[in-house]
Amino acid sequence: MPQTQENPSGQEVLSAESLEATSPEQEANDEIGVIDVITDLEGKVFDAAAENRKSLDALSTEAAGDSELSLSIEDILKENEALVEETNASLNKEVPVSKDSLLDFLQSGDLEKVWVVFDQLELSAEELSSPEIQQAAQACLVMALEDSAVYKGESFNALRIMENFRMSADVVNVAEVRQAASACLARSLEMRWTEISFVQFDELNKKFEFSRDEIVEAFRKSLENALSQTYNDLYMRTLDEIMQKLELSEDVLKSAEIQKTGEEAFSKMLASRNEQRAVGIKDKLHLSDEAVKKAGKLALYDILADGDYNLFSDKIIKLCDLPQTEVQDSVKRAVPGLLAEGRFKDVQGVLKSYPLDDEYMNSLFVQESTKSGLITRLREFDGMNTILPHLEGLQVSDEIIDSPEVQDLAKEALSRETNRMNIAKIKEVFHLAA
Amino acid sequence: MSEPKTSLKQKMLNVLGIKKVYEEKNDAIKKKIKDVKFRIEKKKKDTKIAETLDLISKL
């Protein structure tokens, strides 16, 4: 039978003497294990207390006017707060205080646990300035900045690490830290919907004393992020304000990198049929006529390759002032893809709006694409019906129609056909004997 | 400063003890909240019945 004793909470537990000795490695793991359980429980206590408070607040509104019920609610609220305080106090006493675990948590960037141990350790200035602590704090700082750079760009955690660990300039001013801080700075600019966007920017800037080039780079990065993926409307609407805040002149926008970013975003917006945003990018970033034409040509291709003609394609041509030769280029790039997928109706529509010369349509590449599309469609059970109404005008060569693959598939389709009109048409189009 | 292993084991056991006590006390709080809720609902029903009876008596 193991020996037992009472713990501070009145629970009967195994006595320390009854436990066996373990290795230093095991000891470190045990220490982390204890802190894991403590932080986990602290989180649970916090959440449960908040849930209780919420329920009691709701009941308090319903019980308004009933003094007896109101008193009961007040008592439970007090009991709830007392339980949080009492549990946290008991847990704090159990935190294993060791520099090794602090180093582990710093190196893994687990800030919640870092502060739990840090508060208990009360390290001297000399201990804090030791290379191992400073190095671990540096790694943790990079992680905190990187996390923040993909989240809200807030400076709070980074500043807390720098201050609490009294990080010296030579530890902070290394490429890895400054790079992470710059990404965080860019993110703070993107968070325009939060009131603290510029506050975060100022705090980081004050602490890291960014150079002019670093600020321009952070701005470029923030602009690039704002234009890509989920388009940041607010950022673009307040671009003038951001530039004013950063004391940047319009010349910054003329840089090759920003113009390239703008050109790509402009093209992407046109291709996704968002004219308003596209025009906004073009105007705000002062895209050159050449860039607008290049982006417009690409967007036109994307739209046509999607089988969209007339609707937005005409708008792109007009907006980008695309000359006929550029339009033809985009059409020539889009048509073979549509043909190869067997989208003959779309091809017919595109060619009706933007005709191509016979020489191109009869070229081997286009004819091979047509053959591939025909075979794809004919392999479908009802494929013939999607082919017949649109084949005319596509200039399919006899060579393709008479090819063994097409002939075999056409014969199969014919054998399934029951409509007399269609039978006659299939025979005519696919040169099948009466 | 590294603590002795036995102390860590003891700490873990203590934390588990604290957890158990906490859970019991939090359950008791939840029960009290439920009780207040029940009393509020009952009061609402009683008021409604009294109002209905009052209405009937006036007919």
pTM for the predicted model, two decimal places: 0.61
Contact A13 B36 (CB under 8 A): no
Domain ranges of chain B: 24-59
Which pLDDT tens digit goes with each residue over B22-44? 999 999 999 999 999 999 999 99
Give the pLDDT confidence score for residue A30 in this predicted structure: 78
Which pLDDT tens digit goes with each residue over A112-156? 889 988 988 888 999 999 999 999 999 999 999 998 888 877 788
What are the b/e assignments for A402-426, b being 16+ CB within 10 Å? Answer: eeeebeebbeebeeebeeeeeeebb
Determine whether B4 is exposed, middle or buried from the number of CB atoms within 10 Å of its CB (0-12, 13-18, 19+).
exposed
Average pLDDT, chain A: 86
Contact A76 B19 (CB under 8 A): no
Give the pLDDT confidence score for residue A236 in this predicted structure: 87
- Residue A360 in any domain: the answer is yes
Query: Looking at chain B from residue 1 to 59, which residues have their Cβ under 8 Å from any Cβ of chain A?
Result: 1-3, 5-22, 25-26, 29-30, 32-33, 36-37, 39-40, 43
Q: Extract the tokens encoding A117.
A: 């141990």
Of A98-107, A319-328, A363-372, which range is least confident? A98-107
| Nearest alpha carbon to residue A326 among A304, A359, A348 | A304
Contact B15 A59 (CB under 8 A): no
Question: Closest chain A residue to B34 measured between Cα atoms?
Answer: A55
- Residue A383 in any domain: the answer is yes
Q: Which of B25, B30, B36 sits opposite A73 (nearest CB)?
A: B36
* End-to-end Cα distance, chain A: 100
Q: Is pLDDT above 50 for A5?
A: no
A-B Cβ pairs (cutoff 8 Å, strict): 120
CA distance A52 to A162: 36
Q: Which of B1, B29, B37 sits opposite A98 (nearest CB)?
A: B1
Percent of chain A at pLDDT > 90 equals 40
Phi, psi dihedrals of residue A285, rounded to the nearest 5°: -95, 5
Give the pLDDT confidence score for residue A434 in this predicted structure: 59
Domain extent at residue A366:
326-434
3-state SS, residue A4: strand
Dihedral sign (CA A413, A418, A423, A425) = negative
- Residue A422 in any domain: the answer is yes
Q: Is pLDDT above 80 for A261?
A: yes
Q: Where a domain ends, among A74, A96, A118? A: A96
CA distance A152 to A199: 12
Q: What average pLDDT does this structure show over A94-122?
A: 86
- Residue A169 in any domain: the answer is no
Are the CB atoms for A102 and A29 separated by under 8 Å? no
Q: Is pLDDT above 70 for A2?
A: no
> In A, which residues are within 8 Å of B22 by CB distance?
41, 45, 83, 87
Q: What average pLDDT does this structure show over A26-31?
A: 76
ipTM: 0.83
Give the pLDDT confidence score for residue A238 in this predicted structure: 86
Give the pLDDT confidence score for residue B1 in this predicted structure: 46
The rounded Cα A208 to chain-centroid distance in angstroms is: 27
Q: Is pLDDT above 90 for B6?
A: no
- Residue A330 in any domain: the answer is yes
Contact A76 B36 (CB under 8 A): yes
> In B, which residues are within 8 Å of A45 by CB distance?
22, 26
Are the CB atoms for A21 and B5 separated by under 8 Å? yes
Q: Is pLDDT above 80 for A226?
A: yes
How many residues in chain B? 59
Q: Extract the tokens encoding A46.
A: 């916090």
Give the count of beta carbons closer than 10 Å to the beta carbon of residue A175. Answer: 7
